[in-house]
């Protein structure tokens, strides 16, 4: 057995197909970048853990369960990398669950979420636009983030600003549960008057929000609201975790933690 355990912590998803394309691919990247560590997984969403257990008979550890097992298995060094996007509620919950275990290990290193440093924003903009190279200048990319009541929700408006500061005036960032909402960015979309709108989730997985709130058939889905505004729309059900560059940012965050902690 190796001396080091690497715990990859995700919010989670109940959709198997996107889980394999996103969360599992991030975990594979981490395992490749840190071959000295044994990889473990934990989800922070109690609702998703419950759904997977009751619907599919799949057990995935909570953060506390995973940490307890890692400690009982005798590891001396603990690496933790969340796949969260912002330094919000889920990240803080993970940190609080980790706190009782910090003194139980010889070394503990924790990487940060995706949007942490100014460079993270710039890199993320480049990666997302690299995935949308075929987007024409008169077309718009509308990204759906999750959003939160936490003050870190400001990251989404900051990201929208960063896209435009880097020359992408046809990119608009909104959220389903925070600010800005679709109604907040609609005036700017109308002013831009795109020939077509591409909708894409700004979430690690293309799960429930992407399938239903963004691309769903209900009248209040973003697709149908924008279609009702007279725009031609298309939906790209691709989570951030499918993008190699995004996966690499997480690995770099953990490398940075090892250098600075």
Residues acting as catalytic residues: 146
Burial of 75 (0-12, 13-18, 19+ CB in 10 A): buried
In the numeric block, the tokens 């275990």 are attached to 101
β-strand partners of 143? 173, 200
Specify whether the CB–CB gap between 238 and 210 falls below 8 A: no
Name every residue whose Cβ is closer than 8 Å to that of residue 220 and which is 6 or more positions away in sequence. Answer: none
Q: What is the DSSP letter of 257?
A: H
Specify whether the CB–CB gap between 250 and 29 falls below 8 A: yes
Which helix (H) or strand (E) is 149 found in, with range?
A: none
Phi and psi torsions of 150, nearest 5°: -70, 150
Q: Residues 49, 50, 54, CA angle at the centre, nearest 5°?
A: 120
Whether the link from the prior residue into 28 is cis, omega within 30° of 0, is no
């Amino acid at each position: 057995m190796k001396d080091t355990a690497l715990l990859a912590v995700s919010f989670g998803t109940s959709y198997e197909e996107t889980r394999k394309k996103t969360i599992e691919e991030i975990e594979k990247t981490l395992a490749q970048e840190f071959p000295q560590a044994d990889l473990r997984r934990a989800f922070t969403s109690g609702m998703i853990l419950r759904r997977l257990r009751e619907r599919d008979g799949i057990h995935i550890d909570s953060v506390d369960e995973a940490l307890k097992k890692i400690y009982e298995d005798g590891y001396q060094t603990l690496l933790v990398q969340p796949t969260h996007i912002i330094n919000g509620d889920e990240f803080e919950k993970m940190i609080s669950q980790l706190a009782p275990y910090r003194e139980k290990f010889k070394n503990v290193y924790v990487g940060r979420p995706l949007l942490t440093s100014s460079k993270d924003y710039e890199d993320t903009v480049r990666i997302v636009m690299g995935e949308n190279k075929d987007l024409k200048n008169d077309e718009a990319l509308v990204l759906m983030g999750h959003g939160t009541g936490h003050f870190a929700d400001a990251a989404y408006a900051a990201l929208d600003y960063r896209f435009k500061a880097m020359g992408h005036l046809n990119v608009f960032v909104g959220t389903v549960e925070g600010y800005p909402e679709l109604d907040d960015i609609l005036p700017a979309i109308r002013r831009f008057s795109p020939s077509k709108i591409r909708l894409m989730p700004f979430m690690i997985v293309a799960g429930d929000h992407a399938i239903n709130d963004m691309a769903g058939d209900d009248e209040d889905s973003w697709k149908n609201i924008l279609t009702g505004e007279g725009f031609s729309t298309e939906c790209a059900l691709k989570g951030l975790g499918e993008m190699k560059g995004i996966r690499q940012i997480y690995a770099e965050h953990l490398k940075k933690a090892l250098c600075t902690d």
